[in-house]
Amino acid sequence: MGMGLNDHAALLIVDVQRDFCGTDGKMADFGADLSSVDPAVDRIEELIQGAHDHRVPVIFIRLVTDAETDSRAMKAWYALQGFDPEEAVAVCRRGTPGSEDYRIAPGPGDYAVEKQRYSAFVGTRLELLLQQLDVHKLVVTGVTTECCVDSTIRDGFMKDYGIFVVEDACAAYDQNMHDMSIRILGMNFATVLSAEQVLSDWKGA
C-alpha cells in the first residue's frame, strides 16, 4: 500500500548551503567531517527530479542570518560552551558565499523559504506557503539531521503535518549522531523512509 506522497505532500530541503556542506564553508573551518554530505545530496538530487516528474512541490529551506536578529539564547549558550559567540552564530550570513546553495538550487516552479533559527517554522512564511499549496505531508531532507532537520520535523509534527524523513537524504557530521537522531525521530515524530521508497511511492501513484 502506498503512502500517498504525491497527494498534498511537499519535498523540504533543509540548509543545503555552502557553510554547512562545502569544503570552503564554516563547518569545514570548524573541523566538521563532511564525508556524509555529498552522498545525501546525491539522493536529494534524485528526489528533486522525482518530485518534478510527479508534480510534488519542492521547497528549499535556507538559513540566512543577520546580526540584528541573532539569537540571544544561542549566543549565551555558545559562550557557556567556551566558544566566541559572535563568531559561532555568524553562519550563513546574508550576502556571504556561505549562505549560497550547495550543488542544488531552486528551479522554475520551486519555492525558497529563509529562516534565522533551527526550525523552518519559526519566524518564517513556511506555514502560509504550505497552506496556499494545500500541503498536509512533508518529505524532509537536508542537514544536519540532529539539528535543523530534527527541529523542523518536530515543529511540523506538532502543527499536525504528516512527516516522512528520508534517512539517506539527510546528513550529520557524525554517523552515530545521524543514526541516533533518525531512530528518535522514527520513534516519536516521523515515518523513516529511504529515497528509493519515496521515489517508488511517487511512481506507483
Q: What is the pLDDT along the chain (205 residues), one digit of tens a residue?
A: 578 898 999 999 999 999 999 999 999 998 999 999 999 999 999 999 999 999 999 999 999 999 999 999 999 989 999 988 898 888 999 999 999 999 999 999 999 999 999 999 999 999 999 999 999 999 999 999 999 999 999 999 999 999 999 999 999 999 999 999 999 999 999 999 999 999 999 998 6
pLDDT given for residue 1 in this prediction: 53
Counting DSSP H helices and E strands in the chain, the numbers are 9, 6
Phi, psi of 12 (to 5 degrees): -105, 135
Phi, psi of 96 (to 5 degrees): -100, 155
pLDDT given for residue 2 in this prediction: 74
Instruction: Tell me the pairing of strands 111-115 and 137-143.
Output: unpaired
H helix runs in the chain, sequence order: 18-21, 26-29, 37-53, 72-80, 85-89, 126-133, 150-158, 175-188, 195-204
What percentage of the chain's residues is helix, strand, coil (to nearest 5)? 45, 20, 35
Contact status, residue 186 vs residue 192, Cβ threshold 8 Å: yes
